[in-house]
A = this chain, B = another copy of it.
Amino acid sequence: MLEGSYIDETTPRPGERRIGPVSRPTRRGYHHGDLPAVLVREGVALLAEAGVAGFSVAKVAARAGVSSAAPYRHFPDREALLAACAAAILADLTGVLAWAAEQAGPDPVERLAATAGAYAGYVLGHRAGIDLVYSHDFGVTHREAVHEQSRRFMDVLMKLAADALPAGTSWAGVADLVYVHVSAAHGYAMLLAGGTRPPQNVEEHAARATAAARDHLTGHLARLRG
Contact = CB atoms under 8 A, between A and B. Distances in A.
Interface in A164-216: 176, 179-180, 182-188, 190-191, 193-196, 208, 212, 214-216
B176 A182 contact: no
Contacts of A215: 180, 216, 219-220, 222-223
Given A218-B218, A218-B219, A223-B218, A190 B188 contact: no
Contacts of A220: 215, 219
B182 A191 contact: yes
A185 to B, nearest CB: 7
B219 A214 contact: yes
A184 B190 contact: no
Give the copy number. 2
B137 A190 contact: no
A24 to B, nearest CB: 32
A72 interface: no
Contacts of A185: 187
Interface string A137-172: 100000000000000000000000000000000000
Interface stretch (A4-12, A100-108, A127-135): A127-135
Contacts of A21: none
Across the A-B interface, give the 6 residue pairs with the lowest CB-CB distance, nearest first.
Answer: A187-B187, A219-B219, A218-B219, A215-B219, A183-B188, A184-B184
Given A180-B212, A219-B222, 12 more contacts: A135-B190, A176-B208, A180-B215, A183-B184, A186-B187, A186-B191, A187-B187, A187-B188, A187-B190, A190-B190, A215-B216, A218-B218
21 contacts: A51-B135, A53-B53, A131-B135, A134-B194, A135-B193, A136-B194, A179-B188, A182-B191, A183-B187, A184-B184, A184-B187, A184-B188, A185-B187, A186-B190, A187-B187, A187-B190, A215-B223, A216-B219, A217-B219, A218-B218, A219-B219
